[in-house]
A and B are shown apart, each in its own frame.
Chain A
């Protein structure tokens, strides 16, 4: 087995090792499933309530995707504004940073008052928590343009829009895709947190109800499902990133 194959399988090997250790500890010390369920008990719970869990998972998934879609739209537009105008940058950046420092979970009660229990707060929480990295990355990509290159183009009579389309936009793409990977996982956090207090459906709701009913294996099964969804989406955007902006990743994957 060569070293690149070892690297590829390393996370899988570590995961198997952790699960094995976990199972071993639970079995040997006879840990109660009400305290800390073993992997086998979690898998049982998962298949036991497969249909119900998948229903909740689907709800969480599409809610997250809607929120994430909004955050791409808003993040890209704001990023463009901030990144292409120094005035907008100076005016908006401090406010945006302050906003980003707020715990988004704190918005949930307010959103419930405005939109009621259900998908409204979940979508908006997912959006609020995930647009920031997209916006910052787009703005950074545009704002860090080499001044020499801008001179070359300006001498030729390039308008701002020319520079933006020919250089700014393509140059920003790697930053954009990198931010999507971060943002999608945050969006799942937003949805789940919101569902925990402001929904009767979704994985967040499942976690709360399983917890209050002391069904710990079910709660862990819920966690597992969110983890798999977030991870799958992360890999999806990672794949898109590698295949659209390969020029920015030379040397890392041996292009």
Chain B
């Protein structure tokens, strides 16, 4: 027990050291000893949703966070977007201390949450009606924005579906539209919370490539929360493993597979080894 605890301490220290190894000025996401309890009562009792999270990413890095369900991955998302303030510790995104909701972020979830009374195009345009500086220009530049949305929809293979309603699209198409909505205001960071969790295996792999292509083209920062290890290893530069509640980062795995990656790579021994290794880590967490 004590040796296991010590081993864990070592790993946490290693992750923190990896976070610190990126020079201050080059960090995009920077969590420094972040703890979150959801309300004062839980804080007083010392019940945290996430504990002592330290991680840093380089600009344009694609990171994935994996872990058993209910481990605080979604809490991590809320912290990274500024929807929740940490109880302890500091979060800096893009060099700025986080003090409230971050407009440089786009989000997509497992449920596409498209508005059923809007066409695909209008759904994608929604963020531009809300976020500044687009909001004040929306009326004047509607055509220009619509053209941008159409272009984005084309890149994810939704040309011809711009004027369809969400319920006329398949689940995979809705999720593509949802990702377009997250990207339309050209955010510097994309947060994805199990975005492909509800899709069938083939559609999921198709969308991995859609995301891969969007990312290699635009190089935004990505935080992908998932429980699909293959997905995490295929897409990310760095995979973090989170323990069950209270969520702690227990493993940091750099994925050195060459880019551009193709689905073929998921059948190579090199790839499956990494997946196995991470799987073993999570298996160990689930047992404790």
Give A residues with C-beta under 8 Å from B: 146, 148-149, 151-158, 162, 166-167, 170-171, 173, 245, 247-248, 250
Contact = CB atoms under 8 A, between A and B. Distances in A.
Binding site secondary structure of chain B? loop
19 contacts: A146-B111, A148-B113, A148-B193, A149-B115, A152-B127, A152-B181, A152-B182, A154-B101, A155-B81, A155-B82, A155-B105, A156-B101, A156-B131, A157-B131, A162-B130, A166-B129, A170-B115, A171-B115, A171-B117
A166 B115 CA distance: 9
A37 to B, nearest CB: 49
Contacts of B130: 153, 156-158, 162, 166
B193 to A, nearest CB: 8
A157 B132 contact: yes
A157 B111 contact: no
Interface of B: 78, 81-83, 101-103, 105, 107, 109, 111, 113, 115-117, 126-127, 129-132, 165, 167, 181-182, 185, 193
Contact of B116 (A153, A158, A248): A248
Contacts of B116: 247-248
Contacts of B113: 146, 148-149, 152
A151 B129 contact: no
A145 to B, nearest CB: 10
Contacts, number: 62
A155 B109 contact: no
Contacts of A152: 107, 109, 113, 127, 181-182
A155 B111 contact: no
B111 A154 contact: no
A166 B103 contact: no
Most buried by B among A153, A162, A250: A153
| 7 closest cross-chain pairs (CB), A and B | A156-B131, A149-B113, A148-B109, A156-B130, A247-B116, A158-B130, A247-B117
